[in-house]
Structure 1
Amino acid sequence: MAGFVTVLPSFFLNPLLYLFLLLFWRHYYRQIQFERKLYHVRYNNPWEQWFHSVVHGLFGGILASGLLFVLGVAVRPWDFWIIGGLSLVLALFQLQYLCFAYAAGWYALAAFLVQLWPQGKDLTWMSGGWEFMGEVHLPSILGVAAILHIAEAFLVKLNRGRGGSPLFIRGKRGRLLGAYQMQKFWLLPLLVIVPATSNVSMSAPSWWPMLLSVAGTSFALMLFPAAIGFAEVAISQLPKQKARASSRRLLLYSLILLGFAWSTHYFLWAGLMGAIFAIVGHEGMIRFGNWREGKGHPIFTQLGQGIVVLAVLPATPAEKMGIVAGDIILKVNGSDVREADDFYPALQLNSAFCKMEVRNVEGHIKYLQRAVYQGEHHQLGLVLAPDDHTPFYVDMKPVSLVHLIRQQIDKGA
């Protein structure tokens, strides 16, 4: 406990902590602005999103820190600083690159190349940097990336797809589809073990496996902020189903990367394969998820057999009735509704009461009813899936840190 208390002040003095928190807030605030522009109402709460990023990130940090300790991962403090700074640089190009997997992969790749050619330190102008990179412990760097993604798999499953934004997008065949943009970030406080460089140290316990650690018997503690992110688009699945599938892929990715980290102890070339897999495997996992979505049957599209619900706004009559995303409204007040133009006239058939026949995504019929108060006919809180008459859609483009900063500058001007 005393060791933890001593490292706590340095955590709150770390500038990366506040940079990550600011980036998270800016992203969630931009998301809410986008929702207001589309639906003239807020679907998500930016403060709630930001709060979950911090609180859930705390649970993820505890899990990751425990795994780091059990596996004996010991990394130099400067390695964490470089990986954290590199993740911010990569986010300048695309915000999803804020994830530590990309930064750790590139850092491990550079370290591998240096260690493959140690003679580079004989060159005077690069001797210092070459020697520093030559001492990078590749198993630990790859191990940190793997463990962070085990924590990410846990957090994605814990989040269950909450916080996604409903969107109208254009499918491959030109038809408008409803979708959910799921983009979430978490801040993990990592309690990590670093090789001791002072008298404030601890001895390694006899039971400690030290599978991935550097050689040595004395270690110290460091509390460091790490950012991990998740970005997917749900088209053929509900957000919670998409989150479950993504969580399983993340866990598989993490275990394979952990295997590369362990193998690097015995084969230096496994470090090269691990570094490449950290980058390409993560990107491939995202692209595979998007490919699966494109191949699947879209849920949120109007086919003239009832009206499909894309989203239900919080604290509205529709939510209180029990309507959820993916439901298909078949009848309203006894009248068949095949398209959006049939919906509101059917609501007007009974000015005091509303009865609906709804089919859910499992194909089960449910009957919903509720008293309707003055003005609620046009304020049920439903966002319907797009049809051929929908006047707009969103062109999905990657967002970069530069884009967010430019938006903030333009807003200030």
Structure 2
Amino acid sequence: MVEEWVFEFLKGTGKLLLNPVFYFLFFVAAYLGVFRVKRERKNFSVRAENAYFELRQLIPLGLLAGMVLSIVVVGAGLVIPMETIVFTAALTFLWSFTTKVRWMAPVYTLGFAFFATMFAIEQQWPLPSFAKSVTNTEESIFPAIAILLALLVIVEGFLILKNGRKGTSPKLVKSKRGQTIGIHEAKRIWMVPVFLLIPGQALQVHLEWWPVFEIGGSSYSLFLAPFAIGFYQRIQGTLPKEAVKLLGQRIIVFGMLLLLLSAAGYWYPLAAVGVVALAIIGREFISLRQRMSEDHAPFYFSKRNQGIMVLGVVPDSPADKMALQVGEIVTKVNGVKIQDEKGFYKALQKNGAHCKLEVIDVNGQIRFVQRALYEGDHHELGLLFVQDEKKWDSEAV
């Protein structure tokens, strides 16, 4: 019996790869990578990370987070109606058409799906039979959705904290005063596949192979739902890693607060409605606060009187192998003081076989780095600077 159920479980999991959301997220990640590379080449005539970077970030960490979340959700017996899963998938597609990747975060997909589920059940919407699993407004259903949302917000913060800091993209823009400045953008999409308990036998009616089991006299099915977590952050007033880390920590704390409040929904069902509404408003407030803070901060990546600041480092380039970091200031090249990009490359050509740089790191300490140059090495060392000669976006800061 157990072996048969496990076999059906694995077979069902394999067929879930046909879920359109699963493939759509690959398309979104690929699009983000291609679009980023085109913009970076427009600004710097060279890209930072390759176009597959976003695709490589899509699954690995999200899969791990999804496994942990599945254990928590199934172990806690959280039952999620099929209606909510269908609405979440539909909203994932819908919000993607806004071109605002952050709208594909759980608070905007699952959050609005929560309210859509309420209205659909209450008003008896004529949904397709495969999308129906609840026939009345069972009070225990909605607190479970609120708890799942809170858990996904915590996962969102975790992914931002651990992965959002990697590969932020340098960009040139014009300030309101017409000066060329540099900023960084973090734009990412993650897939978090989560096993959910679905009430009733709605799936088995259409999928005869689908495993159904009983708990406390009620029937349930397991369903693997791929949740999208979209992330966007614009950084101009500080180092990208610090800004992204701070945002991730804030979202984790916010998710924990939502989790504590959502538990009250089992005693006061209306509390679940308040928690989901708070999740949407609170997450939007966190984003707004971050944007306002950046807009009022002095420009970190701007021209300096002493040397030139590193805006980006091309992976696997000589600069990367010399451990040069974003935010450091190069003051001397081969013993020659430099003031701009032109002076940098002129001094670099002074010795075609070797380069020695004097650098002020992000802590204000002076350090020296050097490396032999070989045939085939990046002719510009792989450093990206704030510059005037290249093209930039017309965006005003």
Q: TM-score, normalised by structure 2?
A: 0.84
Q: Aligned to 2:102, which of 96, 103, 109?
A: 96
**AA aligned opposite 1:243:** V
* Other-structure match for 1:63: 68
1:218 Cα deviation from its structure 2 partner:
4.0
* Other-structure match for 1:294: 295
* Other-structure match for 1:106: 112
* Other-structure match for 2:228: 227
Instruction: Please say if residues 169 and 395 of structure 1, whose CA atoms lie closer than 8 Å, have aligned partners that are also in contact.
Output: yes
1:392 Cα deviation from its structure 2 partner:
3.6
Residue 46 of structure 1: SS of its match in structure 2? coil
Structure 2 CA distance for partners of 1:271 and 1:29, relative to 1, 3 Å: same
Asked if 1:83 is matched to 2:88, the reply is: yes
* Other-structure match for 1:306: 307
| Counterpart-to-counterpart distance in 1, 2:272 and 2:259 | 11
**AA aligned opposite 2:292:** W
* Other-structure match for 1:409: none
Instruction: Please say if residues 101 and 187 of structure 2, whose CA atoms lie closer than 8 Å, have aligned partners that are also in contact.
Output: no
| Counterpart-to-counterpart distance in 2, 1:319 and 1:281 | 39
**AA aligned opposite 1:184:** R
Cα deviation, 1:90-139, whole Å, max 9, x if unaligned, reads: 22223322223112222333455688xx6x66xx999x99x857458221
Instruction: Please say if residues 310 and 325 of structure 2, whose CA atoms lie closer than 8 Å, have aligned partners that are also in contact.
Output: yes
* Other-structure match for 1:269: 270
**AA aligned opposite 2:291:** N
**AA aligned opposite 2:195:** L
* Other-structure match for 2:3: none
| Counterpart-to-counterpart distance in 1, 2:190 and 2:377 | 38
**What are the equivalent positions in structure 2 for 1:348-363 lying under 5 Å apart?**
348-363=349-364
Cα deviation, 1:217-240, whole Å, max 9, x if unaligned, reads: 543211122111111112223232
Residue 306 of structure 2: SS of its match in structure 1? coil
Asked if 1:331 is matched to 2:332, the reply is: yes
* Other-structure match for 2:16: 11
* Unaligned residue ranges in structure 1 (runs of 5+): 206-215, 398-413
Instruction: Please say if residues 87 and 116 of structure 2, whose CA atoms lie closer than 8 Å, have aligned partners that are also in contact.
Output: no
**AA aligned opposite 1:96:** R
| Counterpart-to-counterpart distance in 2, 1:12 and 1:238 | 39
Asked if 1:167 is matched to 2:166, the reply is: no
1:57 Cα deviation from its structure 2 partner:
2.0
1:395 Cα deviation from its structure 2 partner:
4.3
Asked if 1:201 is matched to 2:212, the reply is: yes
Q: TM-score, normalised by structure 1?
A: 0.81
Instruction: Please say if residues 32 and 54 of structure 2, whose CA atoms lie closer than 8 Å, have aligned partners that are also in contact.
Output: no
Q: Percent of counterpart pairs with the same letter?
A: 27
**AA aligned opposite 2:58:** S
Instruction: Please say if residues 3 and 221 of structure 1, whose CA atoms lie closer than 8 Å, have aligned partners that are also in contact.
Output: no
* Other-structure match for 1:212: none
* Other-structure match for 1:382: 383
* Unaligned residue ranges in structure 2 (runs of 5+): 1-5, 205-209
| Counterpart-to-counterpart distance in 2, 1:76 and 1:377 | 55
Instruction: Please say if residues 83 and 117 of structure 2, whose CA atoms lie closer than 8 Å, have aligned partners that are also in contact.
Output: no
**AA aligned opposite 1:145:** L
Residue 59 of structure 2: SS of its match in structure 1? helix
* Other-structure match for 1:183: 187
Asked if 1:38 is matched to 2:43, the reply is: yes
Instruction: Please say if residues 147 and 254 of structure 1, whose CA atoms lie closer than 8 Å, have aligned partners that are also in contact.
Output: yes
1:244 Cα deviation from its structure 2 partner:
1.4
**AA aligned opposite 1:41:** V
| Counterpart-to-counterpart distance in 2, 1:202 and 1:40 | 58
Bigger CA drift: 265-274 or 180-189?
265-274
**AA aligned opposite 2:245:** R
